[in-house]
Structure 1
Amino acid sequence: MGALSNLRVIDLTQVLAGPYCTMLLADMGADVVKIERPGGDLIRSNPPFVDDAEEEAYGGYFQSVNRGKRSLELDFNDDEDREDFLSLVEEADIVVENYRSGTMEKYDLGYETLKERNPQLIYSSIRGFGDPRTGETHRQGQPSFDLIAQALGGVMEITGQAEGPPTKVGPGIGDLFTATLNCIGILAAVNHREQTGEGQYVDTAMYDAMLSMTERAIYQHSYTGDPPSRRGNSHPTLFPYDAFETRDGYAVVAAFGTNHWNEVCAAMDREDLADDYPTAADRLEHREALREEIAAWAADLETEELVETLEGRVPVAPVQNTDDIFDDPHVKDREMLVPVEQPGSNETVEIAGSPIKMTETPPEPHGRAPLLDEHREEILGSETDVETAADD
């Protein structure tokens, strides 16, 4: 029994931001009913597959963020399907959708309509530019994806090498961070409802979320009047805080504290640097020359050797790829790789586990992602049986 096992979530989301939000809720025990358009979520067919895309029900993209949910295929243009949806809303705690602003209203299924059916409903939306209910802007109704949000929110301008172009962060943080914030908003609304009995509308915009994530650039601009730009792997106000190339890879060193700086200098057999640059301000002022000193030292070492030299004395780590992650005992000990069935193959696959750890109600993925419309009878059939029994 998860911490949210008392909650029923109607999930109208697709692709990444919305499904990741409802996945977090499902991992914590919520009953998440994924309502899919005819043909299903757009990313069911996205690769990779284990072996045969024709035989397997879906690819890794869908599997990863839809685990532990139940699936029901509905067409909102169909009156019967629309009524089935409204009947589910009457018993639901939360509805989550990530359509463009105005889409649900086209079917007369917007927040106000659903609120009439269920006054305590928490209705949550994830959009590129938010919903007019919480602040109207000229951008609403425009489509948005992770790349758009990262570009507008300032993430790309401060990511990458100084001499290189603006660069997207590898993971889809425009989706994932927005989804996480939306999940927090939903849980806050649940708590408010517990105290007051009131439902409400929760809205998180991808653009807003990326602006929030670039908080450092925002205050820097406000304080200095200059727009921050790319600095590679370094930090604007801390040194050393960077990645250094070794003989066989890269390692990161975060030694901006004086105690850590002294340890790095000792490991390099360069106590003179500790004496010559004793304060953080000194080191920041001469960062380019000092970086060259550390880089020359690191280049003569293998990554493992560098890490072992500093580990336990200085914050240090190798730059890992997924091969390294799959071999890391920490990952296994923390149950951060979870095996699930891959329908249509004879294999199991591993997906990322839940990073939220709790002692009494530990979150965990509750099985594979659903087949399209897999739970129709389970979700709607039981209600039909009740109605039939009542008529008898």
Structure 2
Amino acid sequence: MAGFVKGALAGLKVVDLTQMLAGPYCTMLLADQGADVIKIEPIDGDPTRQFGPFRADDEAHHFGAYFQSTNRNKKSVALDLKSEEGKALFRRLAADADIVVENFRAGVMDRLGIGYESLAAENPRLVYAAIRGFGDPRTGASPYTDRPAFDVVAQAMGGAMGITGPDSATPMKIGPGVGDIFPATLAAFGIMAAVHHARQSGQGQFVDVAMYDGVLAMCERIVYQYSYTGKSPVPEGNQHPILCPFGTFPAKDGQVTVGCPRDSFWRELVAIIGRPELATDPRFLTNNDRLAHSTETVAIVEEWTRNHTKAEISTALDGKVPFGPVNTAADIYADPHVLARGMLAEVEHPGSATPVTIASTPIRMTATPGGVARRAPLTGEDTDAMLSGLGLGSAEIADLRARKVVA
């Protein structure tokens, strides 16, 4: 993209074996900040290329929106890792890599003969990261190690679903794939911590994030709540078990959120809604008082919000009380904040006549901003260039392609 400035991770070489969401999101974070991410795909391509939605005029279907979003800024090399020649090429790519990332089930890479210890013997400073449902035995053998897992499994087991929903009898999945995305973000952090250590010591290491563990860490509140009270937290709708008022409220034209984690916000709120006497009412003086009278507190706020539009509430509370409308995707596209922060990135979509929009990086840096510079790659789009870089000639690459060792 015009005006793109390389990110702070420029010069880092990442060999990326990941598929689905958790692994690709992790390596996307690295690519957005300038790392050279080489995505290793099967000969027929990453299966998630077939996940939609697709543009109406895209008859080629090289990939859908699912793949485009989290594989931008990456290169693609297609290898048959079940063949000895394919594994040998992978080893050569990993020999000078800073990072290898995979999210297969535990033991898959070891059985192929290209697991961490094997690669580290040739590249001692290698940082090798794995994102699995229940972790890797190298860092703690879980009784669930061999189970496959996806976002919904991690949300359920890690505690997110157990505190989400309208009531204690109705646990619900959180809309975004937080069971993938949060562990992926933790893995990216762990990778960079390990890279820092490797640069200082010359010693790489194995970085392991279990999706279950990641969601549990995200739900840290339930851990201390159970420790302090002896009770397991349950879904409580759209209010908060510790702060009050703090949740969603009805407006004339939708829903809004209002939060008063500090008593000063409550005093400001009741003045704005024309109930200044509530600022000195002993039932509502402190957060703990309001929590003890949560039904009355919530009713007071609802009585005011339900008689105003989202725009009116925004005007009244702007800059004084934490507030936000419950936005749809269409609302987000129209929000001036999103425009000002450049949070929607346009990229080419092969097979479509017009660009598509994906979420940009929220990480902003003044000297090395990084960002979205390139669409997701076609299957094997960079195979020739990468293999040429390893010293293979065009005839040798053509032979490998004819025998389906590469694509």
Provide TM-score, normalisation by structure 2. Answer: 0.93
2:100 to 91, 95, 100: 95
**Aligned residue type for 2:352:** S
Q: Say whether 1:133 aligns with 2:130.
A: no
Aligned-residue CA RMSD in angstroms? 1.4
**Aligned residue type for 2:344:** L
- Preserved contact between residue 58 and residue 352 of structure 2 (Cα < 8 Å): no
1:106 to 93, 106, 111: 111
Q: Say whether 1:315 aligns with 2:322.
A: yes
Match of 1:292 in 2: 299
- Preserved contact between residue 53 and residue 59 of structure 1 (Cα < 8 Å): no
Between the aligned partners of 1:279 and 1:128, the Cα distance in structure 2 is 42
2:269 to 264, 270, 276: 264
Shift of 1:382: 2.9
2:343 to 326, 336, 339: 336
Match of 1:326 in 2: 333
Match of 1:207 in 2: 212
Shift of 1:279: 2.1
- Could you report, residue by residue, the CA deviation over 1:176-219 in whole angstroms, capped at 9, with x for unpaired residues? 00000000000000100111110100000000001101100000
1:84 to 80, 89, 97: 89
Shift of 1:311: 1.1
- Preserved contact between residue 70 and residue 370 of structure 1 (Cα < 8 Å): yes
Q: Say whether 1:223 aligns with 2:228.
A: yes
Between the aligned partners of 1:302 and 1:87, the Cα distance in structure 2 is 61
Shift of 1:95: 0.4
Shift of 1:82: 1.2
Match of 1:120 in 2: 125
- Could you report, residue by residue, the CA deviation over 1:331-371 in whole angstroms, capped at 9, with x for unpaired residues? 11111111100001111001111111111101211210000
Shift of 1:387: 11
Matches within 5 A, 1:138-217: 138-162=143-167, 165-217=170-222
**Number of equivalenced pairs:** 388
Match of 2:401 in 1: none
- Could you report, residue by residue, the CA deviation over 1:217-239 in whole angstroms, capped at 9, with x for unpaired residues? 00000011000011112111111
**Aligned residue type for 1:67:** R
**Aligned residue type for 2:162:** E
Shift of 1:163: 5.4
Provide TM-score, normalisation by structure 1. Answer: 0.96
Shift of 1:78: 1.4
Going from structure 1 to structure 2, the CA distance change for 1:102 and 1:53 (only over 3 Å counts) comes to farther
Match of 1:363 in 2: 370
Between the aligned partners of 1:163 and 1:119, the Cα distance in structure 2 is 50
Shift of 1:38: 2.5
Shift of 1:385: 5.0
Between the aligned partners of 2:113 and 2:212, the Cα distance in structure 1 is 27
Matches within 5 A, 1:342-361: 342-361=349-368
Between the aligned partners of 2:122 and 2:45, the Cα distance in structure 1 is 26
- Could you report, residue by residue, the CA deviation over 1:301-342 in whole angstroms, capped at 9, with x for unpaired residues? 111111211111111111111111111111111111111000
Between the aligned partners of 2:371 and 2:116, the Cα distance in structure 1 is 31
Shift of 1:136: 0.6
Between the aligned partners of 2:262 and 2:127, the Cα distance in structure 1 is 46
Report runs of 4+ in structure 1 exceeding 6 Å deviation.
none
**Aligned residue type for 1:138:** P
Shift of 1:56: 3.0
Between the aligned partners of 1:74 and 1:198, the Cα distance in structure 2 is 28
Match of 2:68 in 1: 63
Match of 2:245 in 1: 240
**Aligned residue type for 2:115:** G
3-state DSSP of counterpart to 2:30: helix
Shift of 1:164: 5.1
Deviates more, 1:330-339 or 1:50-59: 50-59
Between the aligned partners of 1:322 and 1:17, the Cα distance in structure 2 is 22
Between the aligned partners of 2:261 and 2:153, the Cα distance in structure 1 is 34
**Aligned residue type for 2:224:** Y
- Could you report, residue by residue, the CA deviation over 1:11-59 in whole angstroms, capped at 9, with x for unpaired residues? 0000100000000000110100000012111210111111145423110
